[in-house]
Amino acid sequence: MPIYEYFCPNCRTKFELLRPISRAAEDGICPGCQQHAPRIMSVFASFSRGADGSVTAVGGGCASCATHACASCSLN
């Protein structure tokens, strides 16, 4: 089962829920205030360490580019 991220606009809490894909479109229930919270876009980065110890980004670039070298990219 995938992990989805949610943000509660009522108490401004960000939280994760492990749930089946069939429930992906449903709002989550905030663990803090018990209100409905919409799902938000998850952002993550994946890295690989080479035999020499160097670290390389794995996969595509950030949402705004594919170069891994823009000023706002956390993969630099």
Whole-prediction pTM:
0.58
Phi and psi at residue 15, to the nearest 5°: -150, 165
pLDDT of residue 55: 84
pLDDT of residue 75: 44
- Tell how strand 39-40 and strand 55-58 pair up: unpaired
Instruction: Tell me the two tokens of residue 34.
Output: 């018990």
Digits of tens for pLDDT over the chain (76 positions)? 899 999 999 999 999 999 999 999 999 999 999 999 999 998 777 788 888 988 887 765 555 455 555 555 544 4
Phi and psi at residue 18, to the nearest 5°: -95, 115
